[in-house]
Amino acid sequence: EPGITLFAFHGKINRRFRGNEEGDLTLDVTRAKNGVWAYENRNKQVMEGDVLYFWIHVQHDGVGYLLENQEYYFTFRRTTTSRYNTRSTTGTTRATTRSTTTASPFTRATTTTWSRTSKPNEDSIDCEPSITTVKGKTVCRNELIFEENFTGTTLSKLWKHAVKIPLDSEDAEFVSYQNLPNICSVRDGYFNIFPKLLCDMPGFSADSIRTGTLDFGARCTGVVDTEAECIRNAAHFRILPPVVSCKIKTKQTFTFKYGKVEIRAKLPRGDWLYPQLNLEPIENAYGTTGYSSGLLRVAFIRGNENLKTKSGEPIDGRKLSGGAILVSREKNRDLWLKSTFKGNHFGEEFHTYQLQWTNRSIEVSVDGVSYGTIEGDFRELARTNNVTVSSQLYAGEYMAPFDKEFFLSIGVGVGGISDFPDLSLNGYGNLEKPWSNTSPKAELKFWNDVSNWNSTWDTTNIGLQVDYVKVWSI
């Protein structure tokens, strides 16, 4: 049928799928053969009674469709011939296909993803080997290996919500991440995150921020320090995170090493807000302290309308940054980041943000225009600037710690102890930032200033809106 650009087959013999995970028999077909889109495997042997469990993904006119929960039962009809007095057995296959779908067998997917997750056929004229890997497997060059357009009203199965309290060892942003429909939603073709005050949520008040408990129980997704990430009892200056936000990740479903990421988004506006359009490491191969295993920022701004350092440098929403982070504290934070400026706030309209990550460098762009390249060998740059990084980097490759697979992460942060320099002057009244990054009372000081910063949170502008996310192999 005209308009088909991808036929992806995922199958298992005698083993059921858990969701739309990758199969043992896997191939992405990007070209029809003799007018037929098909998966063929002449090496796999099957026996009488074997069951093929499979699911299919088809891209048609830019829209992804899924056929899920399929079963194929193998039975054989045996025949005997007497020519030359030899017995031979031939088989014909009768298949029974069962589907759990109730209407049209194909359902429109909210995502288009996947790559050639089997090793590229070196004899294929349309597959040039790539440095990119997806879930540890080789892919072909210049292929769209992930695409999310946020159609429908729910997130696709590729994304999982973070439910936790951020750690002090990282940015300690003043939020809790939760999966709540009034905070994050898929609507009108966009993924939306609109942070809200905890005291405005059911069961909480301004008093409970100072004296209450936040306990995520079994819903918590924290893995580094579950005691700190999953529960907090407010007491004295240790308050509950005063803002509720949202973060989604592809950690369990889509990871890759090297590629080009493109995100079209409208960034949040409002004091102390910032977008999290990031790549995070699938494993802490170079340590768990701070960002010793790395973080890649596709795009970052501070949502303030007018913010400058104590020396007068503008660092508000007119300044866009992207690149790499290897340390958690504000000092030397920008060492591996590149920046560009414009006359108005980047959050006023949608822009297309790109990050190209290779085995030699990281390049960041906006609306197709490059604004900086960070060369590899991060160890050497750290050494020449007297910045302490993980000693384990010296055992890694040239791009360490960015020589491992990473996953996509989208969220909105607020405040914290890393991204807003101390003594910054905010607003046209040049009000000093209300907290110190090194103070144990930072979150409390931030909350005490709620009347000032919350007044800048226009409900129509504070949100992060993401139109699409795409990743290509290189």
Q: Does the residue 145 lie in any domain? A: no
Do 100 and 187 fall within a single domain?
no
Residues in Cβ contact with 338 at an 8 Å cutoff, skipping those fewer than 6 apart: 321, 322, 323, 364, 371, 372, 373, 374
Residue 472 has pLDDT above 60, yes or no: yes
Q: Does the residue 347 lie in any domain? A: yes
Residue 108 has pLDDT above 70, yes or no: no
Residue 405 has pLDDT above 60, yes or no: yes
Residue 106 has pLDDT above 60, yes or no: no
What pLDDT was estimated at residue 169? 65
Q: Does the residue 408 lie in any domain? A: yes
User: Tell me, what CATH number does 33's domain have?
Assistant: 2.60.40.2140
Q: Does the residue 96 lie in any domain? A: yes
Mean pLDDT across the stretch 418-423? Answer: 95
Highest mean pLDDT among 18-22, 37-41, 136-140: 136-140
Residue 373 has pLDDT above 70, yes or no: yes
190 with 150: CB under 8 angstroms?
Answer: yes
Residue 84 has pLDDT above 70, yes or no: no
The strand pair at 243-245 and 175-177 is best described as parallel
What pLDDT was estimated at residue 75? 65
pLDDT-derived band at 8, boundaries 50, 70, 90 = confident
What pLDDT was estimated at residue 473? 97
SS3 content of the chain, % helix, strand, coil (to 5): 10, 35, 50
Q: Which amino acid appears at position 9 of this protein?
A: F
Residue 180 has pLDDT above 70, yes or no: yes
How many domains does one find in the chain? 2
Q: Does the residue 141 lie in any domain? A: no
Do 89 and 211 fall within a single domain?
no
Mean pLDDT across the stretch 468-472? Answer: 97
What pLDDT was estimated at residue 62? 64
Domain end call among 66, 93, 109:
109
Q: What percent of the chain has pLDDT over 90?
A: 61
> What is the Cα–Cα distance from 388 to 394, expressed in whole angstroms?
12
Residue 323 has pLDDT above 80, yes or no: yes
Q: Of 20-24, 33-37, 367-371, 400-404, give the lowest mean pLDDT range.
A: 20-24
> What is the Cα–Cα distance from 146 to 472, expressed in whole angstroms?
7
pLDDT-derived band at 230, boundaries 50, 70, 90 = very high
User: Tell me, what CATH number does 179's domain have?
Assistant: 2.60.120.200
Bridge partners (DSSP) listed for residue 248: 161, 410
Do 99 and 164 fall within a single domain?
no
DSSP string, 216-276: -GGG----S-HHHHHEEE-BTTBPPPSEEE-EEE-TTT-EEESEEEEEEEE---STTEEEE
Looking at per-residue pLDDT, the higher value among 6 and 277 belongs to 277
- CA 124, distance to chain mean position in Å, is 31
Residue 30: phi, psi to the nearest 5? -110, 5
Residue 415 has pLDDT above 60, yes or no: yes
> What is the Cα–Cα distance from 402 to 299, expressed in whole angstroms?
17
pTM, two decimals, is 0.75
Do 95 and 176 fall within a single domain?
no
Q: Of 53-57, 158-162, 243-247, give the lowest mean pLDDT range.
A: 53-57
Do 82 and 174 fall within a single domain?
no
Do 226 and 320 fall within a single domain?
yes
What pLDDT was estimated at residue 19? 65
Nearest to 209 by CA among 452, 416, 444: 444
Residue 427 has pLDDT above 80, yes or no: yes
Do 265 and 370 fall within a single domain?
yes
Do 47 and 179 fall within a single domain?
no
166 CB-side CA count, 13 A: 28
Do 179 and 257 fall within a single domain?
yes
What pLDDT was estimated at residue 113? 46
Residue 390 has pLDDT above 60, yes or no: yes
Do 248 and 375 fall within a single domain?
yes
What pLDDT was estimated at residue 80? 35
Average pLDDT, the chain: 86
Do 79 and 209 fall within a single domain?
no
Looking at per-residue pLDDT, the higher value among 7 and 374 belongs to 374
Can you give the residue range of the structural domain that contains 59? 4-109
Mean pLDDT across the stretch 252-278? Answer: 98
Q: Of 4-13, 90-99, 390-399, give the lowest mean pLDDT range.
A: 90-99
Residues in Cβ contact with 304 at an 8 Å cutoff, skipping those fewer than 6 apart: 270, 271, 272, 316, 317, 426, 427, 456
Mean pLDDT across the stretch 254-278? Answer: 98
> What is the Cα–Cα distance from 384 to 392, expressed in whole angstroms?
17
Q: Does the residue 455 lie in any domain? A: yes
Residues in Cβ contact with 140 at an 8 Å cutoff, skipping those fewer than 6 apart: 115, 116, 120, 126, 127, 128, 129, 130, 473
Interval 286-322: pLDDT, tens: 987 778 899 999 999 999 999 999 999 999 999 999 9
